[in-house]
Amino acid sequence: MSLKMVFSDARQWRYLVDTFSTLIDEACFIVSPEGVKLRALDPSRIAMIDFFLPPEAFEEFECTEETRLGVNFDDFKKIMRRGKSKDRLELELGESDRRIKIRFLGRAIRTFSLGLLDLGGEELPLPKVPFTVRAKVLSDTMKEALKDAEIVSDYVRLEGSEDKLSVKASSDRGNVEVDFTPESGSLIELEVKEPSSASYSLDYLSDMMKASAISDILTIEFATNKPLALTFDLPGGGRLTFFLAPRIES
């Protein structure tokens, strides 16, 4: 069992690991000849990460059999934050190694090694949600809309109707409404099976939106009083999806 992965832009992994570390403390990357996967629930079970990167996304990808890389994200993040722009990233695990080598290939060759955790557990299922709204938006614009909402509230209401997607927030401090329409240029696609609306915690959403640094386009899926899925398309055919449980007013 040995593996080696070289990624052309170390910063992209830095953003990924930064985003993951806001939601989870430790989790397992599963590396196989098909690519790299990670699926994890945050400790409170409100949010979930489902991540996949195919071999094509890497400059070099060598893996002969399925290997589990359990990491502590706090430690992993500290190392990944040392990645500079223009650094290439190499991850390497030798035969019977208990530590993974993380190498930044730039003006110098900087090698870190990180102890792996033995994290057991079977693969998590994905939440089954019959989504009724599906919208493709510019991730930056969505990030800004959520920042707007944060001015008045700790949560937002998403509303999908025939011709627009709205982000709304209200409290005794005031109201905010941000509309995404095809005319405004930020709504790339909108599919609405039935008009739907649901509320979600801004704390979690803003953590997830950190991934907008690596992907310009974001797909939002939700249904009334059901979980939300945020999917970022990653380079080389990869994808990062977050699920978030709704707030349900009684």
Partner 1 sequence: MGVDLGDLVPKKVIELGELRGKVIAIDAYNALYQFLANIRQPDGTPLMDSRGNITSHLSGLLYRTINLLETGIKPVYVFDGKPPEVKELEILRRIKLKEEAAKKYEEALARGDYEAARKYAVRTSKLSTEMVNDAKKLLDLMGIPWVQAPSEGEAQAAYMVKRGDAWAAASQDYDSLLFGAIRLIRNLTITGRRKLPRKNVYVEVKPELIELEEVLRRLGITHEQLVEVAILIGTDYNPEGIKGVGPKTALKLIKTYGSLEKALKVVKEAKFPVDPMRIKELFLKPSVTDRYQLTWEKPDAKGLMEFLCREHDFSSERVRRAIERASKSLREITTQSSLEAWFG
Residues engaged in binding partner 1 (CB under 8 A): 25, 41, 43-48, 124-125, 127-129, 199, 201, 226-227, 243-250
Identify the CA nearest to 39 among candidates 26, 22, 51: 51
In whole angstroms, give the CA distance from residue 78 to residue 99.
Answer: 16
DSSP character at residue 7: E
Least Å distance, CB 195 to partner 1, is 21
Least Å distance, CB 43 to partner 1, is 4
At position 73, the amino acid (one-letter code) is: F
Pick the closer one to partner 1 by CB: 47 or 80: 47
Least Å distance, CB 47 to partner 1, is 7
- Look at strands 217-222 and 174-180 and give their pairing: unpaired
Alpha carbon 90 to chain centroid, angstroms: 21
Identify the CA nearest to 245 among candidates 8, 105, 91, 45: 45
Least Å distance, CB 75 to partner 1, is 16
Pick the closer one to partner 1 by CB: 136 or 226: 226
Pick the closer one to partner 1 by CB: 106 or 127: 127
Pick the closer one to partner 1 by CB: 227 or 238: 227
Report how far apart, in Å, the C-alpha atoms of 83 and of each of 16, 116, 171 are. Answer: 12, 20, 41
Cβ neighbourhood burial of 107 (10 Å; 0-12, 13-18, 19+) = exposed
* H or E element, residue 14: helix 10-23
Pick the closer one to partner 1 by CB: 26 or 144: 26
Pick the closer one to partner 1 by CB: 26 or 148: 26
Least Å distance, CB 50 to partner 1, is 11
Least Å distance, CB 151 to partner 1, is 18
